[in-house]
Amino acid sequence: MKLKKLYKHDNGKQIWRILPTTNNKVVVEERDTKTKEVFFSCLETESGKKLLNQYQHNEKNWIGIESVYKDIIYFHLYGKPDMPAHKSIIAFDILSKSILWHSDNYVFAFVYEDKVYCYQQKFENRNFFALDYLTGEIVQDFGNDVSIINQLKEKLDEEFWQQNYLFPEYFNRNEPITEIHQKYIQNVLDEKVIKGEVSFLKINDLLLFNYHEVSKTNTLTNSFIAIDLSRNKVLLNETLDKNLVNLMPESFFVKDNFLFLIVDKTKLFVYQIKD
């Protein structure tokens, strides 16, 4: 197994979310911790070519991403500053860099098979609708019947796991150590002072894992290691972050044989996993 470094994305701002799309792109949400402004970029997953770089909506703070579907980002606003409730739907076309439609009448639920499912909050219940994903026009009114909405959401969730996502799991220290990848991780636990759990992912003969080591100053260093088990070779040994006070979980994941790593909270490194 090999790891080929493709590129580094670094705008100097804190990365909040990474959203790979179904058509070989990745959307990155970043925030300036001082001004609290939010920026959005979109890159081609393999080449790193920036199709969108540090885009800002008119609302520069209280906005976030609901979903990305067929080169369209669906944004939401917040009901009140510092409040989690979402409002409005803004459909933004990545390729044309333009807003296709914007509605303050609905709250986004999910997008599925070219329809945006959403609702209007009433006093005691919700009324559900399906909108055309390109125009925002109503194509179906479900009233307050949530059963169909729930069925479609279940289908969407099932299909998500068919998109070749691989997320790390926690190493179980109580299991018998029999596999070679378990021995590698156990050696790290025996040799270092580690806080929290070790997250790992095994893909054929490739072992990916990260852990938080307690330093001499009692802060934490988040380290990532990639090992080719067949050759007993370390492919990558990367410090993801240091001088941490709190644990930083979910530091890496894999989709479609691409490894996504967040370094220093502000840098996205993308590697290709090759046989």
Domain boundaries, the chain: 168-249
Helix (H) / strand (E) containing 151? helix 147-160
Coil, helix or strand for 112? Answer: strand
Q: Please tell me the predicted confidence (pLDDT) of residue 199.
A: 95
Structure token digits, residue 240: 């993801």
Lowest average pLDDT, out of 37-51, 75-89, 171-185, goes to: 75-89
Structure token digits, residue 79: 């009901």
Q: Please tell me the predicted confidence (pLDDT) of residue 103.
A: 96
* pLDDT tens digits, one per residue of 200-238: 999 999 999 999 999 888 999 999 999 999 999 999 999
DSSP string, 162-210: TS-EE--EE--TTS---SHHHHHHHHHHHHS-EEEEEEEEEETTEEEEE
Whether pLDDT at 181 is above 70: yes
Please tell me the pTM assigned to this model: 0.90
